């Protein structure tokens, strides 16, 4: 005899990048098992599984090739809250006595921080403007890991959407041409490119905890999924 089919609830949230309302569902037991297995693997496998879960649980309605990394993080935290629970057990190291402080974090209070000075259009000179796109989830992971390495120029170049002059829009060029263009930046101009990533929207949550060992007050700001227990 066939067992009854369970109905999965659906929820709605607003994408931080566009203001678009989307529907999503919690992940199921079989999907949660896949996530737990991935958490024991490397970062590349974790980001692959998280991306696939977000795609499946938003009913394949999103373009996962273009969606911004902070949209993925925000959707996933909401999915996690509805699937497993609204709290996650975390620990932080006391900044006074280095004791480990264990606490429960209400992940529903995570929010998107938007810098008022942030812009996706960078005026590199009086006559040249660069339009940026937000990095995808896997690209942001690479940027976190390589921000102080030689790879950073290549990674930042990937997020240049178009180059504008007074006469022309450049949106069709080779990787080599773009890399050569960016390598010709002054330190100030390259700093504008880096600042785009530093100030772009991000998932954040402020944490305050008193150390039970020494009584010191600790404050911490969590940013991105890598700092949340997923």
Structure confidence by residue, pLDDT tens digits, 44-54: 788 889 999 99
* pLDDT for res 212: 94
* pLDDT for res 2: 76
74: left (phi over 0), alpha (psi -120 to 50) or beta: alpha
pLDDT tens, residue order, the chain (230 aa): 677 877 889 999 999 998 999 999 999 999 999 888 887 878 778 888 999 999 999 999 999 988 999 999 999 999 999 999 999 889 899 999 989 999 999 999 999 998 998 999 999 999 999 999 998 888 877 776 666 666 778 878 889 999 999 999 999 999 999 999 999 999 999 999 989 988 999 999 999 999 999 999 999 999 877 666 54
pTM of the model: 0.85
* pLDDT for res 230: 45
Domain ranges of the chain: 7-85, 87-111+203-223, 121-199
């Amino acid at each position: 005899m066939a067992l009854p089919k369970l109905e999965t609830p659906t929820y709605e949230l607003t994408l931080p990048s566009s203001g678009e309302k989307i529907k999503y569902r919690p992940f199921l037991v079989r999907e949660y098992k896949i996530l737990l297995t991935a958490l024991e693997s490397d970062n590349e496998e974790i980001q692959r599984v998280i991306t696939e879960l977000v795609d499946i649980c938003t009913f394949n309605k999103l373009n996962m090739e273009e969606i911004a990394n902070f949209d993925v993080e925000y959707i996933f935290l909401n999915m996690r809250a509805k699937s497993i629970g609204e709290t996650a057990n975390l620990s932080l190291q006391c900044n006074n006595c280095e004791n480990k402080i264990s606490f429960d974090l209400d992940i529903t209070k995570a929010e998107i921080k938007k810098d008022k000075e942030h812009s996706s259009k960078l005026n590199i000179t009086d006559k040249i403007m660069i339009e940026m796109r937000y990095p995808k989830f896997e690209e942001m992971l690479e940027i976190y890991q390589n921000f102080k390495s030689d790879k950073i120029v290549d990674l930042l170049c990937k997020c240049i959407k178009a180059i504008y002059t007074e006469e022309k829009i450049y949106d069709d060029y080779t990787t080599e041409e773009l890399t050569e263009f960016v390598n010709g930046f002054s330190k100030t101009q390259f700093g504008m490119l880096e600042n785009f990533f530093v100030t772009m929207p991000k998932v954040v949550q402020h944490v305050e905890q008193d150390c039970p060992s020494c009584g010191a007050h600790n404050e911490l700001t969590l940013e991105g999924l890598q700092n949340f227990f997923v």
